[in-house]
Amino acid sequence: MHTIEPFWNWRHKYMSEEDERSPFFGTEHSEIYFTQAVYDHLIHPQWDDFGSSTLYLKIIYADYEEGYAVMELIGEWNDLLHNDVMALKRNIVEEMMAHGIARFILIGENVLNFHASDDEYYNEWFEEVSDAEGWIALLNFRDHVIEDFQHAGIDQYFVLGGQLNALSWRTAEPETLFALVNGLVMKRLGA
């Protein structure tokens, strides 16, 4: 896992540690010291810690005028033991929503598994983005993770699956990715 870096091809357009509105503004990352781990597996030092011991993320793009953010995740999403969704909601999402972000694209190809608890924070997040005419889209999550979301009944809070789970997002510019995802979401929502 230590060789998996957050997507870096948009860094010429956006860096969360240089964005004054980002929860990670001013964060400094080592290129040589690996201090974070998912259980006993070290992860690349470019990933950001948001309060979970098993799930890390990187805000790889945010557009405050259009009101969206793209976040890449790595690790184990564990609400049962660590209430990861609460940490994500309180420490990242709420701060971003305070700056006008209401549409979230979460990339989950490096999320290894999911352990459910209750849906309180998912419901809260969903209601808040809905009130702001937003949404939460999941891209490229592993099939078994999506099945776990469905089994837990939290898939109702996300737009996921279908074309969203097979997007070649790395070849697109962030604005193009957002336009594509927004189009798919609007089609699903019947708007």
pLDDT band of 1, cuts 50, 70, 90: low
What three-state secondary structure class fits 54?
coil
Where do we find the tokens 């997507």?
7
CATH topology of domain 16-189: Transcription Regulator spoIIAA (3.30.750)
Q: What is the pLDDT of residues 58-94, one digit of tens each?
A: 999 999 999 999 999 999 999 999 899 999 999 999 9
Q: What is the pLDDT of residues 122-170, one digit of tens each?
A: 999 999 999 999 999 999 999 999 999 999 999 999 999 999 998 999 9
Query: Mean pLDDT, the chain, as a whole number?
Result: 93
pLDDT of 39 > 90? The answer is no
Structure tokens belonging to residue 124: 């809260």
Contact 137, 104 (CB under 8 A): yes
For the chain, the domains span: 16-189
What separation in angstroms does the CA of 107 have from each of 19, 40, 84?
Answer: 20, 23, 16
Q: What is the pLDDT of residues 89-127, one digit of tens each?
A: 999 999 999 999 999 999 999 999 999 999 999 999 999
